[in-house]
């Protein structure tokens, strides 16, 4: 018999003496109380299911209660075809068997299932395959406070429990029942530890770890517990189980009482303020670092564009240069030509070295401060040299006189290219990107300064072409004793020559006298704490 009461359909077996004589008389069907024989249902399952579906929809039924164990499997087959049935209550106090379980597994619509009992392995499989909450009525009797305080009466209570409270220290019974709970439960998310004990916490963590539980938060109550013990225990446990906590998302939280929060409000505000300040400083630092990086990048790009433009100027002049108009490669000091030196034309050399008038006329139109061009072999140092009325201007300006923190290669304002001083000094920033004097550091490498062709520097002025033989290379803490341009006496000059040669990291075996004129290249090193210096003497080829 299928009997409808409000939104509930109750299915039960009628005794033979209660069956109406006019059962098969279709003219008097009552849709609130339908009766079919079991054989008829089996033979006409689809027809009965369709008919019941229409009645159920009309009566707005969404629950079914089965009163007799022998018809459970058959009735589940029917309700499996009825989408509007969301809750099923199996009333017989018997455990669900495998046949019934397989029929339940076919259902796509049930949201709530209540049974007397179901084996654990079937419940777990049903839980994995269905979006279904299973309730059991079997009472599980425990003597522990843990089970009773958390109202864990039935198997389904244990299986579906999402949060538990631990209000007392564990007794032996609590330990046994808690192990049963952890083994059965599949939904635990929060453990409230209201009565703190270091040994209980360690036991809980070990049990969670042994059962590979994941995504659990342990909330510890501050009120009534020793906060120092809590902090100490948490630190030790985190050290022992750090990997497990990280891989399985096990988290801890301390619930502070209102009284504690009131007492520590000012302290907490100060702490939060400090945290915000630190965070602000970090964000500001990162922002400034980003801006500085962007600034350096754009300024380095500007320098490289100028380099490319200068090389293009040299190339254009070189393309226009007449081979037959070449001058001798070097000018000689005091017009003295060595006896073993020929005055015949040399092989072709780029106008970069030869056609000075044309090159420097073009450069002077771009920047009237241009005084020469410096080249150091096997480095990126290949720049026109400028000179201002002080040694500050070109520290932060490029060749086009635009502001640029990377500056340009410039000659000491005290020097003169018309009459070379005893010490001609050229400065440049040590830029990490390798521009300006950023590659002057190569000169410190033995593989660089031991090569003869690297030991000659070219510094051509707008007046003459000059070659300079390196006599000393060294690093020294920030000092100015090598930055004198002219000396009053030969003795002072000789002392200077002895000083700079004595500092050299490599013996260049050069004879230096007070008749020689020196070229000095200077840049910073070690974040401005030191100086990297190269000295060379003017030579005659």
Give which of 478, 477, 520, 475 is closest to 496, Cα–Cα. 520
Query: Active site residue: 175, 524, 538, 540, which one?
Result: 524
DSSP designation for 326: P
Q: Torsions phi, psi of 143, nearest 5?
A: -110, 0
**DSSP conformation letters of 215-273:** SEEEEEE-TTS-HHHHHHHHHHHHHHHHHHHHHHTEEEEEE--HHHHHHTHHHHHHHHH
Q: Is 524 a catalytic residue?
A: yes
Q: Which residues does 65 contact at the CB level (< 8 Å), separation at least 6? A: 8, 9, 10, 11, 88, 89, 91
Q: How far is CA 267 from CA 264, 274, 389, in A?
A: 5, 10, 59
Q: Which residues does 152 contact at the CB level (< 8 Å), separation at least 6? A: 140, 142, 158, 161, 181
Max Cα distance, the chain (Å) = 147
Using a 10 angstrom Cβ sphere, with 0-12 exposed, 13-18 middle and 19 or more buried, the burial of residue 262 is: exposed
Contact present, 363 and 313 (Cβ < 8 Å): yes
Contact present, 483 and 425 (Cβ < 8 Å): yes
Catalytic residue annotation = 524
């Amino acid at each position: 018999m299928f009997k409808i009461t409000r939104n509930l359909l109750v299915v039960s077996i009628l005794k033979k003496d209660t069956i109406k004589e006019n059962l098969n008389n279709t003219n008097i069907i009552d849709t609130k109380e339908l009766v079919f024989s079991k054989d008829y249902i089996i033979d006409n399952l689809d027809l009965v299911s369709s008919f019941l579906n229409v009645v159920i929809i009309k009566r707005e039924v969404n629950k079914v209660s089965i009163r007799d164990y022998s018809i459970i499997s058959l009735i589940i087959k029917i309700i499996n075809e009825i989408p509007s049935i969301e809750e099923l209550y199996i009333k017989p106090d018997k455990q669900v068997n495998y046949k019934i379980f397989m029929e339940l597994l076919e259902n796509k619509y049930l949201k709530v299932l209540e049974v007397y009992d179901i084996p654990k392995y079937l419940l777990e499989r049903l839980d994995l395959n269905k979006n279904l909450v299973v309730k059991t009525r079997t009472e599980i009797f425990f003597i522990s406070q843990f089970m009773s305080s958390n109202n864990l009466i039935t198997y389904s209570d244990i299986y579906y429990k999402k949060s538990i409270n631990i209000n007392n220290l564990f007794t032996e019974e609590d330990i046994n029942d808690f192990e049963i709970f952890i083994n059965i439960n599949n939904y635990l998310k929060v453990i409230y530890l209201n009565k703190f004990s270091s040994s209980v916490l360690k036991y809980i963590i070990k049990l969670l770890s042994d059962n590979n539980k994941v995504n659990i938060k342990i909330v510890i109550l501050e009120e009534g517990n020793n906060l120092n013990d809590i902090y100490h225990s948490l630190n030790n446990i985190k050290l022992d189980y750090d990997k497990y906590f990280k891989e399985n998302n096990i988290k801890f939280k301390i619930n502070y009482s209102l009284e504690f929060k009131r007492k520590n409000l000012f302290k907490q505000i100060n702490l939060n303020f400090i945290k915000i300040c630190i965070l602000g400083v970090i964000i500001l630092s990162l922002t400034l670092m980003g801006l500085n990086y962007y600034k350096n990048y754009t300024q380095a790009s500007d320098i490289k564009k100028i380099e490319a433009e200068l090389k293009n100027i040299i190339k254009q002049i070189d393309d226009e240069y007449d081979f037959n108009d070449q001058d001798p490669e070097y000018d000689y000091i005091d017009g003295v030509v060595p006896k073993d030196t020929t005055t015949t034309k040399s092989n072709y050399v780029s106008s970069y070295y030869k056609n000075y008038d044309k090159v420097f006329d073009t450069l002077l139109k771009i920047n009237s401060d241009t005084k020469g061009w410096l080249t150091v072999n096997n480095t990126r140092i290949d720049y026109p040299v400028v000179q201002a009325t002080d040694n500050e201007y070109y520290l932060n300006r490029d060749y086009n006189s635009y502001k640029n923190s990377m500056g340009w290669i410039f000659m000491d304002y005290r020097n003169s290219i018309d009459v070379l001083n005893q010490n001609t000094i050229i400065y440049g920033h040590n830029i990490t990107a390798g521009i300006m004097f950023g590659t002057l550091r190569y000169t410190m490498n033995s593989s660089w300064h031991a090569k003869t062709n690297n030991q000659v520097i070219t510094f051509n002025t707008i007046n003459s072409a000059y070659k300079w033989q390196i006599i000393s290379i060294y690093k020294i803490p920030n000092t100015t004793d090598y930055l004198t341009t002219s000396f009053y006496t030969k003795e002072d000059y000789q002392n200077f020559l002895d000083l700079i040669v004595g500092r050299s990291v490599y013996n260049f075996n050069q004879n230096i006298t007070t008749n020689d004129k020196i070229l000095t290249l200077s840049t910073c090193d070690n974040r401005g704490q030191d100086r990297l210096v190269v000295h060379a003497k003017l030579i005659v080829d």
